Amino acid sequence: MATPKTPMRPMFWLIAGSLCIVFAAAFAQVAAGSYEMTYGQALASLTDPKVWSQPAALLRLLFGERLAEVCGLRETEPLATMTLIVWNVRLPRVLVGLMVGINLACAGSIFQAITRNELASPYLLGVSSGAGLAILLVLVVYPVLGPHLPLIAMLGGGAAFLLVYFIAWHHGTSPVRLVLAGVIVAAIAGSLQTAIFFLAKDINIMQNALAWTTGSLTGAGWEQVRMIAPWTVICAVLSLSGARHLDVLLLGDPTARALGMPVERARFLLAVTAIMASASSVAVAGLVGFVGLIVPHVVRNLVGSAHHRLLLGCMFAGPALLVSADAGARLAFRPVQVPVGIVTGVLGGVFFLYLMRRRREIGKL
């Protein structure tokens, strides 16, 4: 809730710090790689006047060739190789990482509020695994459905969430039951995911699927940007407008109901928002773990539990973690690229252990 005199200081530093990290990591991502270029050249390519002065060239990149043809955009002068690499390969990967960070962090905050459980996250509630299973099925068994990955992921994630709730429900849900049920559903979905590997006939598909289950932004391009961007915008707007309702839900269901909230409906709509956010990021980046758990924790410690501040903080801190982790994953062990999910998993796991040792009361909100 807006308390008019809350200090804005931590919020300011959180946003400023996150922006610095995002810009630094993004610039490193754009400049470094197997195609060598200096920072000056990278900057020159990013600001290439041929891109910026021709709206058609910019839109071609954003919309993709096919949609550009449909829209009747005219051909433009060819771009330099360096510009093409920056604009077609490296920049979209940063943008996808940015949006995946926003989605996972916001989804985590929402799940933590609607379950009143600090341990809740897209991963621990089985949503990611369910979405992942649905996507693997599509990749391996029905590849024709490829363009609809976000929707399919949402169906899978939604089904897993309902299943978790159903298993955990016993006169309401307790945090521990919910997490246990989430672990069970995630384990089942994980086994089924592995089983699907054996159905894959093509080794390429299998490698692709494997990279994907560890959470990877390798090969993320404008197609993935277009896939996730609408959902990021929708979910960001919906979650910020739900901030006040999330705050009231933290007072407990009876009090929320007494204040005139249709509790079940509100919780359902908020869960749908969080499922859309997490499933759409699973659709483009695979199973990137711990972001949805760690980022809300850190942000809550800095700016408090009021959701308009918490969610806003997550929208900056989430991308900071994901974009820098992806820069590390791509650049640290060159020429080998590690999936970003491994970096967030290790970082997040260690951080979570630290958090558990330091704060005994973890597990209750």
Partner 1 sequence: MNPPSLSSTGLVGEHLCVRYHPRQPFVLDDVSLHIPPGKITAFIGPNGSGKSTLLKTLARQLPPEKGRVLLDGQNITALTPRKLAQRLGILFQENIAPADLTVEGLAYHGRYPHRRLFEALTPEDRNAVEEALRLAGITPLRQRKLSHLSSGQKQLAWIAMLLAQEPHYLFLDEPTTFLDLSHQFDVMDCLCRLNRQLGKTLVLVVHDLNLAARYADHILALRDGRIAAAGSPADVLTLDTLRRVFDVETRIVCDEEHHLRFCMPVGKTSSTSEAAS
User: Which residues sit at the interface with partner 1, rule CB under 8 A?
Assistant: 1-3, 5, 241, 244, 247-248, 250-252, 254-255, 257-262, 304-306, 365
Tokens of 283: 């659709």
Cβ nearer to partner 1, comparing 304 with 349: 304
Cβ nearer to partner 1, comparing 10 with 349: 10
Q: How far is the CB of 180 from partner 1 (least distance, A)?
A: 22
Cβ nearer to partner 1, comparing 218 with 305: 305
Q: Report CA 157 to chain centroid distance, whole Å.
A: 14
Three-state DSSP at 334 gives: coil
Spatial separation of the C-alpha atoms in residues 184 and 168, rounded to whole Å: 10
Cβ nearer to partner 1, comparing 286 with 296: 296
Q: How far is the CB of 269 from partner 1 (least distance, A)?
A: 11
Q: How far is the CB of 248 from partner 1 (least distance, A)?
A: 5
Cβ nearer to partner 1, comparing 226 with 244: 244
Tokens of 350: 């260690």
| Other C-beta atoms lying within 10 Å of the C-beta of residue 143 | 10
Cβ nearer to partner 1, comparing 73 with 178: 178
Q: At what angle do helices 222-241 and 55-63 cross, to 10 degrees?
A: 80
Q: Please name the helix (run of DSSP H) or strand (run of DSSP E) that holds residue 275, with its range, or none.
A: helix 263-285
Spatial separation of the C-alpha atoms in residues 147 and 161, rounded to whole Å: 23
Cβ nearer to partner 1, comparing 141 with 251: 251
Q: How far is the CB of 174 from partner 1 (least distance, A)?
A: 13
Cβ nearer to partner 1, comparing 2 with 332: 2
Q: How far is the CB of 279 from partner 1 (least distance, A)?
A: 24
Amino acid identity of residue 272, one-letter, is: V
Spatial separation of the C-alpha atoms in residues 108 and 104, rounded to whole Å: 6
Q: How far is the CB of 361 from partner 1 (least distance, A)?
A: 9
Q: How far is the CB of 252 from partner 1 (least distance, A)?
A: 5
Among 238, 302, 314, smallest CA distance to 275 is for 238
Exposure letters 48-79 (e unless 16+ CB within 10 A, then b): beebeebeebbebbebbeeebeeeebeebeeb
The answer to whether the Cα torsion of 318, 321, 324, 330 is positive or negative is: negative
Tokens of 148: 């609809």
Q: How far is the CB of 112 from partner 1 (least distance, A)?
A: 11
Q: What angle do CA 185, 187, 190 make, to 5 degrees?
A: 110
